[in-house]
Amino acid sequence: MPDDIDLEALSQCALDDMARVRPVLDKIADKWTILILTVLCPKPSRFNEIKRRLDGITHKALADALKRLERNGLVTRTVLPTAPIGVEYTITPLGHSLRQPFEALCAWALAHGDDIEKAKAAHDRAKAAA
């Protein structure tokens, strides 16, 4: 850890602001939000396109998440004048502002995913041996 960072002060600042921070994190740090916004970041997409790109998401989970993201100002929903009527979702500037932190999180996950799996396996072996 770098010596020039006062970790105690940073920790206390985060705790002091928890009443404001936690509700925001609850809105963006759920199971699907990061992945949905990642799909929408390069271009607007229709519902089924998003669903195809997110292996494992259910229709209901995606519909609920998109409604929540729209309500929170992270995506917009546009009804297309097609037959049958189509709907397209677009990331908003507010949603786009999450790009850099999300990229950092994804990079961290790629860099440390194996470390987490190794730690988990070691923990499970130690528990089983005890």
Gap between the Cα atoms of 71 and 64, Å rounded: 11
More confident residue, 6 or 32: 32
Ranking 23-32, 40-49, 83-92 by mean pLDDT, the lowest is 23-32
Query: How many whole angstroms from its chain centre is CA 61?
Result: 14
Gap between the Cα atoms of 123 and 126, Å rounded: 5
Mean of the per-residue pLDDT values for the chain? 90
Q: Which two tokens stand for residue 109?
A: 């996950």
Alpha helix stretches (DSSP H) within 29-58: 33-40, 47-53
Q: For the chain, where are the E strands, in sequence order?
A: 45-46, 75-80, 86-91
Q: Which CATH architecture has domain 7-129?
A: Orthogonal Bundle (1.10)
117 band by pLDDT with thresholds 50, 70 and 90: very high
For residue 2, the model assigns a pLDDT of: 53
Tell me: pLDDT of 3 over 70. no
For residue 4, the model assigns a pLDDT of: 60
Tens digit of each residue's pLDDT (9 = 90 or more) over 31-49: 899 899 999 989 999 999 9
Q: What average pLDDT score do residues 70-87 get?
A: 93
What's the predicted TM-score (pTM) here? 0.78
Tens digit of each residue's pLDDT (9 = 90 or more) over 53-62: 998 999 999 9
Ranking 20-24, 85-89, 120-124 by mean pLDDT, the lowest is 20-24
